[in-house]
Amino acid sequence: MELIGWVLRNRVKTQYLGDTTYEAVARRKHQFSGLNPYDKQYHTNVTMSYHDRNTAWQNALKVASEVYAAPEADRPFPGDVKHFYSPQSVARVPDWAR
């Protein structure tokens, strides 16, 4: 989750694809699987609020807050890294990763 958070931060900072907010970056079509309407968790993911007590959700909020507030020195990869995928999380290698 932390690495995905840094990808989001990089995209906001560089205005990747013209997006200037975390919400716009996260909800851009076909960019983050859990926020695409075809994902089985989509409805749950987009209806959660800061007050939901779901453990995974609270952990995600914690990680997001930490990445948002982290100093640049904590950056795990360069600021021009705008993509990330985990072979354990996806069924096929994305075209851009080949």
pLDDT for 95? 82
Q: How many other C-beta atoms are found inside a 10 Å radius of the C-beta of residue 25?
A: 22
Which own/partner pairs from 53-60 qualify as long-range (CB within 8 Å, at least 24 positions apart)? 59/1, 60/1
Q: What radius of gyration, in Å, describes the C-alpha atoms of the chain?
A: 14
**Confidence (pTM):** 0.84
**Per-chain mean pLDDT for the chain:** 90
Q: Is the pLDDT score of 34 beyond 90? A: no
Please name the residue that has the structure tokens 């013209």. 18
